[in-house]
Each structure stands twice: as structure tokens, then as C-alpha cells.
Amino acid sequence: MFDGPSVVAALEDCGVTHVVWIPDSDIGRWEPALRTATRLQLLRVCREGEAIALAAGLHLGGKRPLVLIQCTGLFEAGDSLRNIVHDLHLPLFFVIGVRSYYAYQRGASTDSCPVFTEPILRAWQLPYVLLDNRHSAADLAAAYRQAQAKNQAFAVLLAE
């Protein structure tokens, strides 16, 4: 399970300096912990493509940002992702909430978000791992550290 305090603590331990985000109803619950974090800064942006470009600037400037968005925003942000990850080759780290994942799995939702999120990431050639309620902030931190060690862009999908 993921909660704001444990996620923030894990990200701070990883050395993340900035979380660039647009919340959804799940990750939005992390807002108090992100807002009051002392070792990372929460940056609120207006659109997900903007989040990726802003994080790219932070990275070029020597910081260690993380992009925290929902899959709906990922769909909007394709051009930004393509440019930053594949033209500029910046190893940004993404945490992306997958709306309706559990409901779709049990046939209780026709939301198309779970249908398209993973194929979209594969199309953009962005490696990823899906974390669900069997995982914890420690798994998120492990994914971050592994991506940093490989100096590669990477996404964690969070089942919602």
C-alpha cells in the first residue's frame, strides 16, 4: 500500500529534489505529505506535458525531479515525453496513476484508461513496472534507484 508519508520519505531517501505533479483522486491524498516535505519541493503545474518539460529543465540544471501524474495526463503529454526522453535523452522518472485499474480487472468498469496505458508506454518505448496494493513505497524507491543506476528514463504505474 502507498500513502503520502511513506512515499515522501522514500523519495527523500532516494534524493529526489522536486516532485512535479498534477494530482488525481488517489495520488491526490499524498498532497499534505508532499506539501510539507522538507527535503523535496512540490511543484504544481497546469498540464502534464508541461510537467515533463519543467522536470527536464530541473534535470539539466542538476536537480533530481520526479513527474507524478495520472494516465489521462500521460495521454496528453506524448509529444513532451517523446522529445525529452528520446530527443534529449534525459532519464526522467515518472509515477503514473492508472485510473480504474482494479475496477477494470474485476469487470466493474468500462473506463478505457487501463486498456491504453501500458500500450501507450510501450509505444513511447518507456520501460515501466506496474505496482499494485501488494507493493509499498520501498518498491517505488527500488524502481527509482534501479532507473538511476541505469541512467534511463523509467515509469512506475500505480494501480488505482
Contacts to other proteins by CB under 8 A: 18, 43-47, 49-63, 65, 79-80, 82-84, 87-89
d(CA 7, CA 159): 15
Query: Which residue lies nearer to other proteins by CB, 47 or 145?
Result: 47
Query: Which residue lies nearer to other proteins by CB, 4 or 49?
Result: 49
- Biggest alpha carbon–alpha carbon distance for the chain: 45
The x, y and z cell numbers of residue 11, run together, are 523519495
Query: Which residue lies nearer to other proteins by CB, 5 or 78?
Result: 78
Find residue 59's DSSP bridge partners: none
d(CA 91, CA 82): 12
Contact between residue 117 and residue 74 where contact means Cβ atoms under 8 Å apart:
yes
Least distance between other proteins and beta carbon 121 (Å): 17
Least distance between other proteins and beta carbon 44 (Å): 6
Least distance between other proteins and beta carbon 142 (Å): 26
Query: Which residue lies nearer to other proteins by CB, 90 or 159?
Result: 90
The x, y and z cell numbers of residue 53, run together, are 518539460
* Cα-based angle 129, 109, 119 (whole degrees, multiple of 5): 35
Least distance between other proteins and beta carbon 45 (Å): 5
